[in-house]
Structure 1
């Protein structure tokens, strides 16, 4: 889980993980709590998880990033370790306005971690570097 999430949000994600491990589903009360804490990001994030849109990309050096295919089909890079997503909603709602804890992509990463539903991809270090540089070049355009 991201180190910068409020303790209550981290605890909720741990409870979701525990419940899912024990029963293979998330109880309604935890889903309501998810909606209460994360607001409008909760339902779209659950949809992204259901569609298996989250991929953890790792390299032999141990580096890892998450790539989430958004509802528009665009790929966004998320860094769970530092609580960051490359999408415009994260830049605006989380960083600029401060009215959201996370965007739907980052929440989908946290939920897929809790539910054990990340797609896994291992790539060489050079390929991971190219992937990240490509993302940076697209943002500059």
Structure 2
């Protein structure tokens, strides 16, 4: 049972999501790891993404919300502050990468990490200089997402079993895979979308 997800867990979810890209098919290794974390919920979320049920609604003033269609056909409106991918410093773009990014994660106790750390006192002495200009993690945002669905209320708020429901996970996946449906609404429609239908008289 998940009560308060650790920062390590949130950082792992963030890293797996950022390993997805709209320009290429989702790697099997990443999908396998996501399935290990979320189980059948991942399949349900991917079905929502494939059906184009994740819609980003741009509101007047530059704000936006996401809507995900429920199983009953009614949309859930989600107000999410999505993590954005880390920005690569301009200096790093002028030099060839030393190694290709990999979605595979090495345990600190594994022989591979011991071999990297063994006898390399100079790297240890450099501290944070070994990975300069690394952007701060936005993983805490993942632990503050809320969906109005009953599944989120039951599985996350009442008896915490997961940090997400399938609707939040679908938004995160669609955002990273470039499969969000974009739409814009005028002010009057935005009032109705936000439950302020009576405000316009």
Shared fold (TM-score, shorter chain, > 0.5): yes
Query: Match for residue 106 of structure 1?
Result: 168
Structure 2 counterparts to residues 64-75 of structure 1, below 5 A: 64-75=64-75
Name the TM-score, length of structure 2 as normaliser: 0.59
Query: Match for residue 132 of structure 1?
Result: 194
C-alpha separation between the residues in 1 aligned to 2:74 and 2:35?
24
The answer to whether the 8 A contact 1:48-1:71 is kept is no
1:89 to 151, 157, 166: 151
Higher RCO (Cα < 8 Å, 6 or more apart): 2
The answer to whether the 8 A contact 1:48-1:54 is kept is yes
- In the TM superposition, residue 106 of structure 1 has moved relative to its aligned partner by 0.7
C-alpha separation between the residues in 2 aligned to 1:125 and 1:13?
33
Q: Which runs of 5+ in 1 are unaligned?
A: 136-141
Task: Determine which structure has the larger helix proportion and give its number.
Answer: 1
Structure 2 counterparts to residues 42-61 of structure 1, below 5 A: 42-61=42-61
Name the TM-score, length of structure 1 as normaliser: 0.82
C-alpha separation between the residues in 2 aligned to 1:98 and 1:39?
15
The answer to whether the 8 A contact 1:45-1:105 is kept is yes
Query: Match for residue 97 of structure 2?
Result: none
- SS across alignment from 2:55: strand
Query: Match for residue 99 of structure 2?
Result: none
Q: Which runs of 5+ in 2 are unaligned?
A: 1-6, 82-143
- SS across alignment from 1:45: helix
Query: Match for residue 33 of structure 1?
Result: 33
Query: Match for residue 12 of structure 2?
Result: 8
C-alpha separation between the residues in 1 aligned to 2:163 and 2:36?
12
Q: Deviations over 1:82-124 (max 9, x none)?
A: 5111110011101111111101011000000001111111112
- SS across alignment from 1:36: helix
C-alpha separation between the residues in 2 aligned to 1:94 and 1:79?
17
In the alignment of these two chains, the number of paired residues is 128
